[in-house]
Structures are given as structure tokens and as C-alpha cells.
Amino acid sequence: MWDYQTLMAAYEVARRLKIVRFAGVVSAGKEARVYRAIGKGGVEYAVKIYLTATAEFRKSIYKYIMGDPRFEGVDLSNTKKLFFAWARKEYRNLRRMYDACVSVPRPYLVYQNIIVMEFIGEGGRRAPLLKEVYEELDEEELMDVYRQVVENVKRIYCCARLVHADLSEYNIMYLHGKVYIIDVAQAVDLNHPLAEQFLAHDIGNIHRFFAEEAGLEIPGPEEILRQVTSCEDVQCECRVESRQAEAQ
């Protein structure tokens, strides 16, 4: 059940985006739930609502918020203020990635503890996570997925100037041959004191999954890291314009 503040916030979000109804939970975690919502004309949204802050959650996000100016002056002991700030952080990260043409859900709105983004899925069901579907793909398809993931990490780093900081097969969606990066709240700016450490961890996860679980012959972590950080053959500014035109 939503508390009164969340219920009023959901009403305001529905008013702004002309949402007709909420169509059920598509993902549920300890701190947040993602709902599918239907707007006028059948537009589908993913509505992420932060609800509960556990002690484990506070501890886990501490390393991502220390050194982030967006959290300066925020009372992290106050659950409501923490979630408002964390939701804004996720929305801004998502917006920066989207504007850099990273394959992420299109962001629409952040309001208090609620983020609204594009719904990735079909038939009322969310797209599967890479972890859930990779065994159904052949080697050629998996290699294409690997290349897409590396290209998106490169765009996150070179164009959005961020590091995802928690990338794994559990926060990559796959639909009709295309990957989508999700769950970007913890992403940090390249100026964050732990940015290099987080990037190395992301690259390690990519190599572990595709080399060890999927069984692909791919470059080692050091070479993948070099490919990402070299920013070779990456054009950022012209593609931002294409995204802005798309949104109009």
C-alpha cells in the first residue's frame, strides 16, 4: 500500500502525463516497485516508486552519494528526503544517458519519490533481463549483444560522462535483438573519487558474464577497458540533436 504522500504524488504524476490507469507491478525490489501505466492513446509508461529505505539500502548507496554534489545538504537520515534526492539522481543520470544516445528507457518525469520512463516490453510484460534470456540466444546473437553492451558503456563514459557503477546481466534488458541499460540511480560522474574503481568493476562483470557464463571468446578486461576509455570513433554531439528531434 502507498502512504498518503506517495498517493498524492502519484495523482500529480498521472495528471501531468494524462495517465489513465496503473496496470500492475512489473518489478518489485526491497526499496522500490515499478508499475506499468497506460496513458491516453495507449502510451505505456514504467513508473518507478521508491517506498522503503532499509538499513541495508542506506549502507549500500553511501559509496555512490559521497562526493556527489547533488547530495550536499541532504539529511540522509530522513527517508523522504533521501528518496526524493535519490529519485532526482536517477532521473538526471537517465536523462544524461538518453541525450547521449545510450540505449536506455526514455525519461519523462521525476516528481518526489516517483520516476516515469518509457516502458520496455510488449503485451503488457516487461522485456526479459539478459540473465533470463541469454541461454536462448545462439553464439552470433550473443556476440552482437556483447558488442552492443560495450558500445553503450563507451557512450555512457565518453558522451554522458558517467559510469554506471553497477552494471551486470541483471540490469540489461533484451528485446527484439536490442539491449537496454536500466537501473542507473547509482551512476556517478567521472569526477567522482571512485569512478575508476566502479568502471573497472563494470568491465569485470561484462567479461565474467560473456566469457564465463555465455562462453564467448572476447578480449580481456584490460582491453575492454582500453576500448571504452579511449573514446575512439565516438560522435556524441550530433546524436544528441537526433534525440532532441525525436522527443519533439
Domain-terminating residue out of 101, 122, 143: 122
Report if residue 247 sits inside a domain.
Answer: no
> Does 132 lie in the same domain as 233?
yes
Report d(CA 212, CA 140) in Å as an integer. Answer: 16
> Does 144 lie in the same domain as 84?
no
Mean pLDDT of the 54-60 span: 76
The question of whether 99 is a catalytic residue gets the answer no
Domain-terminating residue out of 69, 99, 122: 122
> Does 134 lie in the same domain as 87?
no
If one counts the domains in the chain, the total is 2
Looking at the chain, the number of H-run helices and the number of E-run strands are: 8, 11
pLDDT at 80: 82
Report d(CA 34, CA 27) in Å as an integer. Answer: 5
Report if residue 29 sits inside a domain.
Answer: yes
> Does 182 lie in the same domain as 147?
yes
> Does 135 lie in the same domain as 64?
no
Contact (Cβ atoms closer than 8 angstroms) between residue 110 and residue 200: no
> Does 139 lie in the same domain as 79?
no
In tens, the pLDDT along 89-98 reads 999 999 999 9
> Does 236 lie in the same domain as 138?
yes
> Does 204 lie in the same domain as 110?
no
> Does 117 lie in the same domain as 9?
yes
Active-site residue, from 3, 75, 183, 233: 183
> Does 137 lie in the same domain as 117?
no
User: Does 244 have pLDDT greater than 70?
Assistant: no
The question of whether 183 is a catalytic residue gets the answer yes
**Is residue 72 classed exposed, middle or buried when 0-12, 13-18 and 19+ CB atoms within 10 A define those classes?**
exposed
| 29 grid coordinates | 525490489
In tens, the pLDDT along 224-237 reads 999 999 998 888 87
Q: State which amino acid sits at residue 88.
A: R
Give percent of the chain above pLDDT 90.
Answer: 75
Report d(CA 49, CA 72) in Å as an integer. Answer: 23
pLDDT at 210: 98
CA atoms within 13 A on the CB side of 167: 32
Helix/strand/coil for 18: coil
Give the domain range for residue 52: 4-122
> Does 153 lie in the same domain as 104?
no
Report if residue 116 sits inside a domain.
Answer: yes
Report if residue 144 sits inside a domain.
Answer: yes
Report d(CA 86, CA 185) in Å as an integer. Answer: 7
Report d(CA 149, CA 144) in Å as an integer. Answer: 9
| 13 grid coordinates | 504524476
Least confident piece of the model among 5-9, 104-108, 239-243:
239-243
Active-site residue, from 166, 189, 202, 233: 166
Least confident piece of the model among 100-109, 175-184, 237-246:
237-246
> Does 138 lie in the same domain as 111?
no
Report d(CA 90, CA 96) in Å as an integer. Answer: 10
Task: Please give the model's pTM, rounded to 2 decimal places.
Answer: 0.90
**What's the start-to-end Cα distance of the chain, in Å?**
36
In tens, the pLDDT along 147-196 reads 999 999 999 999 999 999 999 999 999 999 999 999 999 999 999 999 99
pLDDT at 246: 46
pLDDT at 73: 76
Residue 204 sits in a domain whose CATH number is 1.10.510.10
pLDDT at 68: 77
Report d(CA 130, CA 168) in Å as an integer. Answer: 9
User: Higher model confidence: residue 230 or residue 76?
Assistant: 230
